[in-house]
Amino acid sequence: MAKKNNKSEKRISNIPQKEANKNSKGVLIYKEGMSVKDVAEGLQQSVGAIIKKLMMLGVMANQNQVVDRETIELIASEFGATLKDEVVTDVTRFDEFKIEDDSENLVKRPPVVTIMGHVDHGKTTLLDFIRNSRVAAGEAGGITQHIGAYQVNHNGNLITFIDTPGHAAFTEMRARGAQVTDVVIIVVAADDGVMPQTEEAIEHAKAANCPIIVAVNKCDKPNANPTHVMEQLTKYNLVPEEWGGDIPFIQISALKGTGVETLLDTVMLVSEMADLKANEKRLALGTVLEAQLDRNLGPCATFLVQNGTLKTGDYIVVGDTYGKIRTMEDDRHIKYNEAKPSQAVLVTGLDEVPFAGDKFMALQDERQARQIAEERSYRSKAKEQASKSVSLEDLFKNSNDDDEKSLNLLIKADLQGSAEALRQSVEKIKVEDLKINVIRCSVGAITDTDISLAEASHAIVIGFNVRPSQAVRDGAQSKGVEIRLYSIIYKLLEDIEAALKGMLEPEYEEVITGHAEVRQTYKISSVGTVAGCYVTDGSIASHSLVHIVRDGIVVYEGQMASLRRFKDDVKEVKAGFECGITIEKFNDIKEGDVFEASIMKEIKRK
């Protein structure tokens, strides 16, 4: 039976995409992101005829505008055609395959569980107790230093655990399209309560749309207060089952093992409700959990098999590279000749080091694996500059797409009061069927973690009286994450509402020209405070608008009063040079402050 399925899979893989999705008479194949021109070609009609039909439906569009699926279905019916979804048969797009196995081949698979929570709340100690080995004791400072995947046996049932060093890794994998987790356990210390990383864990678990189980740890301590933890988490819509909610809360002591059996029973109960199944008889598909270049082993990676059976000797395509499985072993260094669904193994034999979150697929032909990898690499390079996230200006342009009917925002502000006021004000904006979703609202400077979460959630980062560092800006730009900075709340709300209505037409854009670090300050009675600065990047112009940033927070915004080199007034100072700067109506300048210079640039709307 296994042999039959493998042949079938290979045959399907080699069907040319243009044949599998050919528009036969009376049938229009729907592909995501279809434009008016694409619809016209698919229906063998003129673009003008399609635009006329759209106008009759109240939709104004040009030939390059993307049309949503519902509208395309109406247009197709007007011309007597039936709309069918695209069937991805191009083997180079294997990570987009929709696997449909015969029910007779499906068997129950173990759940994959990720443990998350605040540092020192007992994540690794819990996992340590579960798998009965001393991981925490051998790690620097007791903090998890790597991603590990471990499979344990609980009353005859296998459970796979993924232990992460932080939420960034979890989010980075999700940002690359990897959905590897079936259940998330959030560990909260009963003597400490909800902490910043607890909030992050909740946000990441919700964004991944995973079932959540809360493990209230350290309940054996004298000052433990599990009820307080339950009360705190209700603010995040995590309501305990005993209070009428749907979130299991299990009180445990990871150190002593109290309640751990109940926690594992709950994991199995949640996984049974999810009805997790896979087909062991097909070639393997799965995701890379981590990868590295080992001095002795060469390129190697931890694979999580999600469907099928992975065997030594299999040829595989993984991300944009390929290889032949030479060896497989688990976390205890036990060698395997085959790995089944939900099993995690360290594999060797890869041509290059893949990325965490990359998908892999097993094949039977080395030449085919190499050709697929080469084609995928070529496509990846071609798309390297494409943005992964949405921008505020093109929100309405894409709002006809079902995936864009909600605007995800990540808000960072200088004060807690400002953050809460912004959240409440933003969530009150209502425009037809468009929805605003605030995935995080917190205080402090914009960080790399914020950018990672925004990338994974396709969110726009809103900064209110805060500024990101240049490194964070560069990271956001490379990941296609838009950062919008404001100091006036009504301007922020106007922009968002205008974007939702499709009327966002800014005439000017604030362009950052450079940064200068304050090295020394001088008090001059007739002038005020003069800041002796060093321009770290870009350039500073004498007519610049200046944001004074202190520890990531904007403490003042104003116009530059003077810019000097030695005793001379100058129009501009470039990176690598020193200068003296005074700010209009502001003298409370301190060493270590950063001057962020910007100009207002007129822009033309496309």
SS3 for 48-107 is HHHHHHHHHCCCCCCCCCECCHHHHHHHHHHCCCEEEECCCCCHHHHHHCCCCCCHHHEE
pLDDT of 337 over the 90 cut = yes
**593: DSSP letter:** -
Q: Which range (138-142, 242-246, 268-272, 335-339) has the least confidence? A: 138-142
pLDDT tens, position by position, 160-192: 998 655 545 555 555 454 578 899 999 999 988
**246: DSSP letter:** S
Model confidence band, residue 267 (pLDDT cutoffs 50, 70, 90): very high
Model confidence band, residue 55 (pLDDT cutoffs 50, 70, 90): confident
Model confidence band, residue 217 (pLDDT cutoffs 50, 70, 90): very high
Q: Which bin fits 342, alpha (ψ -120 to 50), beta or left (φ > 0)?
A: left
Higher pLDDT, 550 or 64: 550
Q: Which range (68-82, 168-182, 401-415, 451-465) has the least confidence? A: 168-182
The whole-number pLDDT of residue 134 equals: 38
The whole-number pLDDT of residue 262 equals: 94
Which of 204-208, 230-234, 372-376 ranks highest by mean pLDDT?
A: 230-234
pLDDT of 366 over the 60 cut = yes
The whole-number pLDDT of residue 42 equals: 85
Distance separating alpha carbons of residues 471 and 482, to the nearest angstrom: 14
Distance separating alpha carbons of residues 279 and 100, to the nearest angstrom: 10
Task: Identify the structural domains of the chain with CATH numbers, from first to last.
Answer: 22-86 (no CATH), 110-275 (3.40.50.300), 279-382 (2.40.30.10), 396-506 (3.40.50.10050), 510-602 (2.40.30.10)
CA 193 to chain centre: 26
Model confidence band, residue 6 (pLDDT cutoffs 50, 70, 90): very low
Distance separating alpha carbons of residues 476 and 576, to the nearest angstrom: 25
Q: How many CB atoms lie within 10 A of CB 580?
A: 20
The DSSP-derived string for 535-583 is EEEEEEETT-EEEEEETTEEEEEEEEEEEEETTEE-SEEETT-EEEEEE
Q: Classify each residue of 425-449 as buried b or exposed e, where b means 16 or more C-beta atoms within 10 Å of its C-beta.
A: ebeeeebeebebebbbbbbebbbeb
Give residues with Cβ within 8 angstroms of 434, minimum separation 6. Answer: 399, 405, 406, 407, 500
The whole-number pLDDT of residue 226 equals: 93
Average pLDDT over all residues of the chain: 80
Q: How many CB atoms lie within 10 A of CB 260?
A: 18
pLDDT tens, position by position, 499-534: 776 644 445 678 899 999 999 998 888 888 999 999
| Strand residue runs (E) in 182-264 | 183-189, 212-217, 249-251
Distance separating alpha carbons of residues 107 and 544, to the nearest angstrom: 66
Q: Which range (315-329, 398-412, 487-501) has the least confidence? A: 398-412
Average pLDDT over residues 553-571: 89
The whole-number pLDDT of residue 531 equals: 93
CB 388 within 8 A of CB 479: yes
Model confidence band, residue 387 (pLDDT cutoffs 50, 70, 90): very low
- Gyration radius of the chain over CA positions: 28
pLDDT of 398 over the 70 cut = no
Q: Which range (13-22, 125-134, 240-249, 325-334) has the least confidence? A: 13-22
Model confidence band, residue 247 (pLDDT cutoffs 50, 70, 90): very high
CB 264 within 8 A of CB 110: no
The whole-number pLDDT of residue 163 equals: 67
pTM: 0.55
The whole-number pLDDT of residue 508 equals: 67
pLDDT tens, position by position, 297-331: 889 888 999 999 999 999 999 988 899 999 999 88
HSE (side-chain half, CA atoms, 13 Å) at 39? 35
Which of 146-150, 430-434, 599-603 ranks highest by mean pLDDT?
A: 599-603
pLDDT of 94 over the 70 cut = no
The whole-number pLDDT of residue 391 equals: 59
Higher pLDDT, 109 or 458: 109
Q: Which range (93-107, 133-147, 400-414, 573-587) has the least confidence? A: 133-147
Which of 55-69, 334-348, 468-482 ranks highest by mean pLDDT?
A: 334-348
Model confidence band, residue 280 (pLDDT cutoffs 50, 70, 90): very high
Average pLDDT over residues 541-558: 90
The whole-number pLDDT of residue 37 equals: 87
Average pLDDT over residues 364-369: 85
